[in-house]
Amino acid sequence: MRQKLLVYVVAGTLLWSLVYLLVFVNRPNGSVRRTEETLNSLTEQLADLQNTLSQQNAENRRLLDALNKIADNRAVAAAAPAGLVAPAAGGGATVAAPVIAVLVFACNRVTVSRHLDQVLRYRPDPARFPVIVSQDCGDRPTAEVIAGYGSAVKHIQQPDQSDIVLPAKEKKFKGYFKIARHYRWALSQAFDTFNHSTVLILEDDLDIAPDIFDYFTSTYPLLRDDPTLWCVSAWNDNGKLSRINASAAELLYRSDFFPGLGWMITDKLWHELRDKWPKSYWDDWMREPAQRLDRACIRPEVSRTRTFGKKGVSNGLFFEKHLKFIHLNDRPVPFTKMDMRYLLRENYDPWFVDHVYSCQEVTYTELKARQIGHKDCVRIQYVTKDGFKRTAKMLGLMDDLKSGVPRTGYRGVVSFMYEDRRVYLAPRPDWTKYDLTWS
């Protein structure tokens, strides 16, 4: 706009000079000498003009820069209180979009590049999704890989590399203590030092789905507005292809089980947890009632993360037997254009309970023997902990419980697919609360 104006001014001045020159030279009584003088002076004037214009140009450029800076500052200032910026032009969304800092945990795996490449490829807007890579372990090759991304990511390194002294019995779990130490430090960096109000936590061994940023953007208002939610996760613990409806990529749930593996929280929760952050097993600690306080996470039917690394602290066997079968969504969903309010507790709970308990109750044997005369949803009831575990195992579901909550469970209900049918493994209809002794 301003550049265009400048071009017009320059063109106009040149044209005027030319007309002036012609008129002057063609004066009827002008002598040759006079014309020469005039030409000389004109050349000088033109040089002057050129000089002035180029000075003007530099001035304009400075002005433009200053204006841009002011505009940027204003956007930052406007963003600061609510953590929001206007969506990028052409984004289609009409509401201000949240700034969600992406905090990637890394240690000693150079394959962090596989993860970071995907993050940078899929994030729709660098300003809305600033990336911080927090590295523990001080591994040089990994640090070099991260440094290779230059200013595209902010590389921070956990400074406390001191040994953690443990009793002999616990020594083999030292890795978990280091992870908890790293998580506390890095979350504090993201929230307390860089002052982000919303953080998406990822890990160096995760593949992510192309629509993961839309997923977290669209669920952010739920997290902000519904005090009975405390996280949004990208992970389905029972997300293997045979147990999900891969066509239902838009399907989301509330879950009482904290899934981790690609999860978003706000500073409000961090302020609650930071002073009591545990020395180890931070994820199971979060699943304890004292931390969870009956709050739920949003989780998808089809995972938006999948772990590709089997080298790490947790058991390689678990990767081989389970994790590697989790299906990563490949059907992008335009979440940000959808109404997500059905996931607010006041809307979700009545519908969910009504829906689950309206499905016909069947036994595992009937389901397996295909003795059900319709294609609609069914429900298998469990009453005891052992009953739950036995049935879950037979159905190929995760059978463990943390603080009484089964993986993916909401109000005790585990949702999954069995041979093209929706099935709910559910407690009795009069369920009121989890039994903490179930583990």
Ligand X SMILES: *[C@@H]1O[C@H](CO)[C@@H](O)[C@H](O)[C@H]1NC(C)=O
Which is closer to ligand X, CB of 115 or CB of 421? 421
Taking each helix axis from N to C end, the angle separating 2-25 and 32-82, rounded to the nearest 10 degrees, works out to 170
Residue 53's closest CA among 21, 6, 15? 6
Least separation in angstroms between residue 353's CB and ligand X is 19
Stretch that binds ligand X, among 68-76, 85-93, 244-252, 331-339 (CB under 6 A): 244-252
Binding test (CB under 6 A) with ligand X, winner from 29, 162, 432, 437:
29
Q: Retrieve residue 250's tokens.
A: 């838009």
CA 208 to chain centre: 10
Q: How far is the CB of 280 from ligand X (least distance, A)?
A: 29
Binding segment for ligand X among 49-57, 97-105, 234-242, 243-251 (CB under 6 A)?
A: 243-251
Of 248, 359, 362, 394, the one binding ligand X by CB under 6 A: 248
CB of 421 to ligand X, least distance (A): 6
**Six-digit token string for 409:** 């469970």
> Of residues 13, 157, 228, 245, which one binds ligand X by CB under 6 A?
245
**Rounded-to-integer distance, Cα 195 and Cα 94, Å:** 26
Cα four-point dihedral sign 303, 305, 309, 314: negative
Strand partners, 156: 134
| Size of the residue set binding ligand X (CB under 6 A) | 10
Rounded CA-CA distance 305/264 in Å is: 13
CA 120 to chain centre: 11
**Which amino acid makes up residue 369?**
A
Nearer to ligand X, 206 or 417 (CB): 417
* Burial class for 357, CB neighbours closer than 10 Å (0-12, 13-18, 19+): middle
- CB of residue 377 vs ligand X: minimum separation in angstroms? 8
Q: Which is nearer to ligand X, 28 or 90 (CB)?
A: 28
Minimum Å gap between C-beta 117 and ligand X is 27
Residue 422 as a binder of ligand X (CB under 6 A): the answer is yes
Residue 24, burial from CB neighbour count under 10 angstroms (0-12, 13-18, 19+): middle
Residue 354 appears among annotated catalytic residues? no
- Per CB under 6 A, the list member of 55, 247, 363, 365 interacting with ligand X is 247
Binding to ligand X by CB under 6 A, coded x per residue (else -) over 137-156, reads --------------------
357 binds ligand X per the rule CB under 6 A: no
Q: What is the largest CA-CA distance in the chain?
A: 117
Q: Which of residues 275, 339, 420, 430 is near ligand X by CB under 6 A?
A: 420
Per-residue binding letters, 190-219, with ligand X (x by CB under 6 A): ----xx------------------------
Shortest separation between residue 408's beta carbon and ligand X, angstroms: 16
Stretch that binds ligand X, among 65-73, 210-218, 348-356, 418-426 (CB under 6 A): 418-426
- Rounded distance, CA 252 to CA 388, Å? 23
Catalytic residue among 48, 267, 275, 283: 283
Q: How far apart are CA 37 and CA 30, in angstroms?
A: 11
User: Distance (Å, rounded) from C-alpha 146 to C-alpha 178?
Assistant: 20
Under rule CB under 6 A, residue 75 binds ligand X: no
Piece of 8-16, 341-349, 355-363, 417-425 that binds ligand X (CB under 6 A)? 417-425
Question: Nearer Cβ to ligand X, position 304 or 422?
Answer: 422
- Taking the C-alpha atoms of residue 39 and residue 58, their distance in angstroms, rounded to an integer, is 28
**CB of 417 vs ligand X, minimal distance in Å:** 7
Closer of 145 and 333 to ligand X (Cβ): 333
Q: What is the DSSP letter of 129?
A: S
In angstroms, what is the minimal distance from the CB of 416 to ligand X? 11
Residue 24 to residues 11, 27, 37, 106, 357, Cα–Cα distance (Å): 20, 5, 11, 76, 97
Q: What's the chain's length in residues?
A: 439
Partners of 401 in beta bridges: 406
- Return the active site residues: 283
Which parts of this chain interact with ligand X (CB under 6 A)? 28-29, 194-195, 245, 247-248, 420-422
